[in-house]
Amino acid sequence: MNWLYIHLPHLYGETWLADFHSSQPMALTRAQGQQIDAINPAARTCGVDIDMSLSTAFCLCPQLRASVLDARRQRRALQRAAAIAARHCAWVAEDPPCGIYLEIASMAKLLGRALQAQSTLQQVFQQRGYSAVIAAAPNPKAARLLARAGRSQCCDQRQFERCLGDIPVTALGIDAKTELRLAKLGLASVEDLARLPHGDLSYRVDTGLALYVDRISGRQTWLPPPFQAPEQFRWQLDLEQDFDSLEPLRFFLAKGIGEFCHFLQQRCLAAQALQLTLLHRRRPPTNVDVRLAAIDNRPESWQYMLSNTVNRLQLEAPIIAMQLRASVFEALDRQERQLFKSVSQESGEKKSQLLNRLGARLGMGRIHFLQISTDPRPEYQTVYASQAAVQKHRPPAGRNTPLWLAPQPLPTDIDQYTISRGPLRLNTGWWDRNGAHRDYYIASHTTLSTQWVFRQPSGLWYIHGWFA
């Protein structure tokens, strides 16, 4: 029994939803999905199940509250759980979206036997509010199969082989098409699959399934990649006396910024946000957010922004210690570097410097960037964002929409126009109260200007934009 597997079926809800275990039925779905991905116990009591459509779930439970899973928060939840497990085991590996592998053979002196390790980890996760199913087996995939099948037990190789007859093939997490093929062949349990030769299972059903069964049964060795905790930066300076002003401490803050930038450059990372915490003797700490306009790892950019932020700060109590913290980083793009800076590099650095200075003087909350949304309605396609968007796709050439739009559609008389192209029908916005049902045309006005006009179902005409 060399491996443990921790299955956390309610990881997302127990991490981010405080009332997940309340009497309110809850369901979680993927983004833009109509199938349920996770439910709480109250929803299961009402008859709601995983992979059920939302419409069916609402018919069974009208008071159901549905939420959309955030992929980033789901990733962070698994990292938190893996970090907890890493305090008790040397080799920890993630199994998205809600599983963790642990190698326990090398930790026998610390954790004891598999049953003791299982009991210890069960208590640790239970104290933190997690519902965990923990199983132990000779290899990682075998432990995973037991835990996902709801069997919280410790098995050696012989015991595990005897358990396979009671585990249905649905516990493997395979797709419905493969399940149907196995049912037609009369293969109902994992033991039936393990008895088949690899070549027959690969030829008759699926190559990936045959490889998975080999790893479960131990015929092929597989090891999960070790978990690497996310990078975090923390710098603290304890002062020998209380300071009523930050002016004498600028040198020490510059030193902390230097260590922060050295931390980033060593790992080829960049950051956009840094938190300065000022500790007081009898008051709560003062938290100051330092934020750049774009990611950077140069000391001069961070020192300039921190200096201007500190200038606007008014202290309410003397300072006894200072901290700098950062936990969100981005990897720098791998690109060729030239000995002499090109024009594009210089312009990019000057742009970042200008935005940082504007943010330092005005506040980053007052700087906005124009972005294009995915809303098909022209008046909702331009939005303000706090960060500049990276253009991944060039807009198609020959677009039939103008760049100059009217703030509000203007009523007009179509008799003064000559239509040259159209109609282009737009029937959208059904999800809110601002639906658009229009037929767009490109028309020339008697003043020789080309305009973008549309007609509503009521027969009224409006101007929505002008072409150059």
| Per-residue pLDDT at 335 | 56
Containing H/E element for 324?
A: strand 319-326
* pLDDT-derived band at 368, boundaries 50, 70, 90: confident
The angle at the Cα of 49, spanning 45 to 55, to the nearest 5 degrees, equals 105
Residue 363 has which token pair?
Answer: 């506040």
User: Looking at per-residue confidence, does 340 or 210 come out higher?
Assistant: 210
CATH topology of domain 157-217: DNA polymerase; domain 1 (1.10.150)
**Distance (Å, rounded) from C-alpha 232 to C-alpha 238?**
20
pLDDT digits (tens, 9 = 90+) for 353-364: 777 777 767 766
3-state secondary structure 429-459: CCCCCCCEEEEEEEEEECCCCEEEEEECCCC
* pLDDT-derived band at 8, boundaries 50, 70, 90: very high
* pLDDT-derived band at 387, boundaries 50, 70, 90: low
Crossing angle of helices 207-217 and 140-148, in 10° steps, is: 100
**Distance (Å, rounded) from C-alpha 230 to C-alpha 328?**
9
* pLDDT-derived band at 390, boundaries 50, 70, 90: low
CATH topology of domain 237-333+345-362: Dna Ligase; domain 1 (3.30.1490)
* pLDDT-derived band at 455, boundaries 50, 70, 90: very high
User: Looking at per-residue confidence, does 124 or 358 come out higher?
Assistant: 124
Return the minimum-mean-pLDDT range out of 28-42, 118-132, 293-307, 356-370: 356-370
Asked if 320 and 238 count as a contact pair (C-beta separation under 8 A), the reply is yes
Query: Rounded to the nearest 5°, which phi and psi values hold at 95?
Result: -135, 85
Mean pLDDT of 199-221: 90
User: Looking at per-residue confidence, does 422 or 258 come out higher?
Assistant: 258
User: Tokens 């036997």 belong to which residue?
Assistant: 113
**Distance (Å, rounded) from C-alpha 225 to C-alpha 213?**
19
Question: Partners of 93 in the beta sheet?
Answer: 101
**Distance (Å, rounded) from C-alpha 236 to C-alpha 285?**
13
Contacts of 348 (CB under 8 A, 6+ apart): none
Residue 278: closest CA among 311, 322, 234: 322
pLDDT digits (tens, 9 = 90+) for 341-352: 555 656 666 777
User: Looking at per-residue confidence, does 348 or 185 come out higher?
Assistant: 185
3-148 CATH, one of 3.40.50.410, 3.40.1170.60, 3.40.50.970, 3.10.20.30: 3.40.1170.60
Query: Rounded to the nearest 5°, which phi and psi values hold at 336?
Result: -70, 135
**How much is the pTM?**
0.62
